[in-house]
Structure 1
């Protein structure tokens, strides 16, 4: 085997490899000799089939297998001799000229091909103990719990039938048929929908026009869909809804006490408050964790600056860019609406893509150097949790992940990342800082959506 380096630029390498015809022929003959004792052909006793006869019958297919194996072995030797870690699978370019290919197959010419590889950079890990970050903390106040319980109570308020016109706060059961320019549209019709007037559940302006409606009365409700409406085909459109009130109900008295808590399946009001408080604590903890993680990743990015494999960066950028442009199309926004240009936006998101790849490589290196692993039990728990998100389809979800290694890797990766983050937070200097709810849940001013992942 003869290897000639053609390119060594950054993390890219390219080689020309020549595999002598004599070596390929020798390997093919050895493979045929192995087949001799296994092949059963009419007219020949077991193990007595001449190799020359096998070569006439199977020579080309065997040589193809030998070439494939030889190319893989040659590429592996290049990687091993160079001490490389591959970022991508090697890109092999075999001869395309039919005459040249035929000469190789006939054993009359050496096989010459090129192989391009992208290698991972050598990462010098920084001093994690030098990282100093602030952790926002927010204690759960009794007023916050009381407000949450009040919202739960309001959502479970009893209603009783009412004679006469509907007022704000009343619940109206309606059926409606929506149309735009006289044409019905998908998702614009529904039957027996309960709606509390003033709840803000429907499109702005819809509920106000139901004030004064009576049971069995039909009205044409005219509204304009918001410009940022989630269904892009409806955003900003004027629509009419032929709306019929089926039933009017007035809100009943609501007493938040132990009896109310028991209706919700709790032993007492105090138990309900404890459950609500626990949920709020989880929400605050998750929000705090997200901010701490972002600050930790910022610090890691500052400690580790190196070139990333171009193809990995391109793939990451394409994923981010696709999401960004799809969201903008759905919202019917342009880059000028965002105060930028497509060129500048691409440059920004290319930086974000490189940052994400760089941080991914750093986290992987930290995990490898410190033997941080994800156990099979942890992955199994993740699959079970995922299956629970699809009631009635748990078995199908389980089978999907059991048979799909790539999908399973998507569950393993975030577990690994969180374990590495935990490891780093143990080493870093983390200072707890009391904050308000507004501060805890506010997005960082310089944070782009693509940087959250």
Structure 2
């Protein structure tokens, strides 16, 4: 077997691998000898089938396996000797193709882009600032007030009062299309909070100003993407009878409210809220510090990038951003989307940082544990209530989905490793300053 270099430019590599006919024939013979003791053909005892007959019966099948095995061994030996790691799956082509016949040498061409040599990272050169935000009394009070609003009750307004946005109206209604009532379009004593957006667009606004005892004809048009196809895009009239108008009354901020949210008393609820707020602040502060770390790494560590990885990442970025700008398009029948210079620049950053973090993780033997993966899958499964088991089975059989869940965990563990070796100072700031910093981050 012979491996000959044909290309070595930057990170691009090219080789021809030649497996002689004699080498291939020897491998076929070896494989046939391995299976011969188990082969039984009519007219011959088990293990006594002549080699010539074995070749005639099984030779073509074994030949294909032998060719693949020879090429795999050559590639494995090549990567072991050169230390190359391909950036993407190598392109392998057999010379001769369909004209190749048994007895010919096998010559294949192999091309790929090698991963670059990545400089050793010295974490001690990194300086970072960890922002610390305490849960202020005002923030805890605001959170309590929001809880009280979410737990609000409704009380009857004074007789003759007109319904306002935010009020609850108790109504009976019958929906009709073309003068005929339709299934699912009627209800009695229905409590509807005006402005909640829970009904068809335009419905709730037409009940603002109504009083108890009023009869109101509400005319709306069902959205074209409405779930029930027989109603989508059609105009409907709802004959509504307003039976009561009620004003919202926030719950009292007291021990009873605390118990409704699982706390022993109001003091305990305040502690829980403060802890939750500080956990949120800590997560936001970590995101800011991580961004600062990545910015420093991007500026400090330079190496050649595999063009194929950058190109693939740029196209993915362009495609994703295009769909964000066109949320109405749910398929991919939109023609080619060419990356801009901005997309290419962002792709270079992502590829550089991705390769750098992957290399740090590889050298430090950082890995994602089974327990961490299980937690990630469980967290993702919560987005599909009632279908958790189906989601688990889907992830189990989908390597791409497993990688999508594993990648951010791995990245965070590598980031934590680098931060542990960096110089980190703490700075206490207010919630408002933290929010401003986050807004600046989102604009970048």
Look up the match of 1:110.
105
Look up the match of 1:140.
135
Q: Return the offset for 1:291.
A: 0.7
Cα root mean square deviation, aligned = 3.5
Q: Cα 1:418–1:97, aligned 2, differ >3 Å: closer, same or farther?
A: closer
Q: Return the offset for 1:427.
A: 1.7
**Farther off after superposition, 315-324 or 205-214:** 205-214
> Is the CA contact 1:128–1:424 (under 8 Å) kept in the aligned structure 2?
yes
> Is the CA contact 2:207–2:216 (under 8 Å) kept in the aligned structure 1?
no
Q: Distance in 2 between matches of 1:347 and 1:239?
A: 46
Pair 1:54-2:48 in alignment:
no
Pair 1:312-2:309 in alignment:
yes
Mapping of residues 149-188 of structure 1, within 5 Å: 149-161=144-156, 164=160, 165-172=162-169
Q: Distance in 1 between matches of 2:201 and 2:363?
A: 55
Q: Distance in 1 between matches of 2:175 and 2:285?
A: 44
> Is the CA contact 2:151–2:250 (under 8 Å) kept in the aligned structure 1?
no
Q: Structure 1 unaligned runs (5+)?
A: 183-188, 232-237, 333-341
> Is the CA contact 1:126–1:303 (under 8 Å) kept in the aligned structure 2?
no
**Farther off after superposition, 412-421 or 437-446:** 437-446
Look up the match of 1:77.
77
Look up the match of 1:32.
32
> Is the CA contact 1:218–1:242 (under 8 Å) kept in the aligned structure 2?
no
**Alignment deviations for residues 83-114 of structure 1 (CA, whole Å, 9 cap, x no partner):** 1122222210123542x22x2xx21x111121
Look up the match of 2:68.
68
Q: Distance in 1 between matches of 2:430 and 2:204?
A: 34
Q: Return the offset for 1:129.
A: 1.2
SS of residue in 2 equivalent to 1:34: helix
Pair 1:121-2:116 in alignment:
yes
Look up the match of 1:280.
277
Q: Distance in 1 between matches of 2:250 and 2:277?
A: 27
Q: Distance in 1 between matches of 2:62 and 2:378?
A: 45
Q: Cα 1:199–1:44, aligned 2, differ >3 Å: closer, same or farther?
A: closer
SS of residue in 2 equivalent to 1:37: helix
Pair 1:213-2:240 in alignment:
no
**Alignment deviations for residues 97-139 of structure 1 (CA, whole Å, 9 cap, x no partner):** 42x22x2xx21x1111211122111111232111112223222
**Alignment deviations for residues 31-70 of structure 1 (CA, whole Å, 9 cap, x no partner):** 1122211111111111110110111111111111100111
Q: Cα 1:137–1:176, aligned 2, differ >3 Å: closer, same or farther?
A: farther
Pair 1:297-2:287 in alignment:
no
Q: Cα 1:254–1:135, aligned 2, differ >3 Å: closer, same or farther?
A: same
Look up the match of 2:229.
none
> Is the CA contact 1:213–1:245 (under 8 Å) kept in the aligned structure 2?
no
> Is the CA contact 1:135–1:292 (under 8 Å) kept in the aligned structure 2?
yes
Look up the match of 2:20.
20
From 416, 428, 438, the equivalent of 1:434 is 428
> Is the CA contact 1:172–1:245 (under 8 Å) kept in the aligned structure 2?
no
Pair 1:378-2:372 in alignment:
yes
Look up the match of 2:181.
none
**Farther off after superposition, 380-389 or 278-287:** 380-389
Q: Cα 1:178–1:433, aligned 2, differ >3 Å: closer, same or farther?
A: farther
Q: Return the offset for 1:305.
A: 1.4
SS of residue in 2 equivalent to 1:28: helix
**Farther off after superposition, 192-201 or 290-299:** 192-201
Q: Distance in 2 between matches of 1:69 and 1:275?
A: 62
From 261, 265, 276, the equivalent of 1:264 is 261
> Is the CA contact 2:32–2:54 (under 8 Å) kept in the aligned structure 1?
yes
> Is the CA contact 1:176–1:241 (under 8 Å) kept in the aligned structure 2?
no
Q: Return the offset for 1:26.
A: 1.2
> Is the CA contact 2:219–2:236 (under 8 Å) kept in the aligned structure 1?
yes
Q: Return the offset for 1:322.
A: 1.5
**Alignment deviations for residues 343-396 of structure 1 (CA, whole Å, 9 cap, x no partner):** 7x6211112122112111111111222232322222233333333443333333
Q: Distance in 2 between matches of 1:96 and 1:273?
A: 77
SS of residue in 1 equivalent to 2:7: strand
Q: Return the offset for 1:191.
A: 7.2
Pair 1:352-2:346 in alignment:
yes
**Alignment deviations for residues 272-291 of structure 1 (CA, whole Å, 9 cap, x no partner):** 22222222112111111111
Q: Structure 2 unaligned runs (5+)?
A: 179-184, 227-232, 330-336
> Is the CA contact 2:168–2:191 (under 8 Å) kept in the aligned structure 1?
yes
Q: Distance in 1 between matches of 2:186 and 2:79?
A: 63
> Aligned residues, how many?
417
Q: Return the offset for 1:78.
A: 1.9
